[in-house]
Structure 1
Amino acid sequence: MSNYGLVKTVQIDGDFEGFDDEVLFKLMDGTYWIQDQYFYWYHYSYCPRVNILRDNGRFYLQVEGQNQIVPIRQIFDVVESQINGEFKGWEGETVYELTNGQVWQQCTYNYEYTYSYMPEALIYSVGGGYKMKVEGTSADVRRVK
């Protein structure tokens, strides 16, 4: 750890379920960071304190008290809204209207059922496309309107 410089310590806004692939981290200071390299590690915590570290121009995230760290990058073009009505998961070409008036459609196949009424939706850019995260699930999407 001695090679890493501490940039800041802040809390994750909400549930933390570990690291996986392109995990989005919303922090209490209003910033968004995305996991920049695949690494799987499951660890559940609610609003844990995390360290943002820097080494050789790259940023890393570490949950306080844990040894695992992952490379991250800050993202800025995040859409925060709610699904306007029922959310029934993903079926392949699912279309959802948001309360902000935007309409997004699932653009790659992924089937996952979960139900919620007017849940929060986060849409963010990932390497040439967008992901929509709702109720702990996510799918690749494209903007229709």
Structure 2
Amino acid sequence: MSNYEIVKTTQIDGDFEGFDDEVLFKLMDGSYWIQGQYKYWYYYAYCPKVKILQANGKFYLQIVGQREIVLIHPISNVIESQIDGEFNGWNGETVYALTNGQVWQQSTYQYDYTYSYRPDVFIYNAGGGYKIKVEGTTADIQRIK
């Protein structure tokens, strides 16, 4: 860790379920960061303390007390809302209305059943199109209204 500078120490806002591919991290300071490289590491914690590190002009995220780090990028313009009604996961062409009046449709095939009523959603552009994160699952989407 000697070549990393600690930029800030804060906490994840909510559940942390490790690293995967393009994971969105919402921090307690209101900032959003997206995982910038594929790295799988499962570790569950609720609102864990994290360090944002910097080295060679790049940012990294580390859970305090853990050795694993991952490349991250700041991300802005994240839409936070809720599904207006039931959420039943993804079935290929799923359409969901949000409580903010927007309507989004799944744009690539993925099947994943998860049930929840009026869950929180996060919509963001990961660089290759929009993604929606609901109940720990993510899908590619496009806005239809």
Shorter-chain TM-score bucket reads: over 0.9
Aligned-residue Cα RMSD (Å) equals 0.6
Counterparts of 1:102 and 1:41, CA distance in 2: 33
Counterparts of 1:88 and 1:15, CA distance in 2: 20
1:40 maps to amino acid = Y
1:53 equivalent in structure 2: 53
2:32 equivalent in structure 1: 32
2:122 is aligned with 1:122: yes
1:58 maps to amino acid = K
Tell me, what secondary structure is at the counterpart of 1:9?
A: strand
2:51 maps to amino acid = N
- How far residue 49 of structure 1 moved from its aligned partner, in angstroms, is 0.3
Counterparts of 1:115 and 1:41, CA distance in 2: 25
1:75 maps to amino acid = I
- How far residue 127 of structure 1 moved from its aligned partner, in angstroms, is 1.8
2:94 equivalent in structure 1: 94
Counterparts of 2:44 and 2:117, CA distance in 1: 24
Deviations 1:61-109 (A, max 9, x none): 0000111100000100100000001111100010001000000000000
Counterparts of 2:103 and 2:116, CA distance in 1: 18
Counterparts of 2:128 and 2:136, CA distance in 1: 22
TM-score by length of 1: 0.98
2:55 maps to amino acid = D
TM-score by length of 2: 0.98
Alignment of 1:59-138 (within 5 A): 59-138=59-138
- Runs of 5+ in structure 2 lacking a partner? none
Counterparts of 1:57 and 1:74, CA distance in 2: 13
Alignment of 1:3-14 (within 5 A): 3-14=3-14
Counterparts of 2:117 and 2:46, CA distance in 1: 22
1:139 equivalent in structure 2: 139
Could you tell me the percent identity over the aligned residues? 72
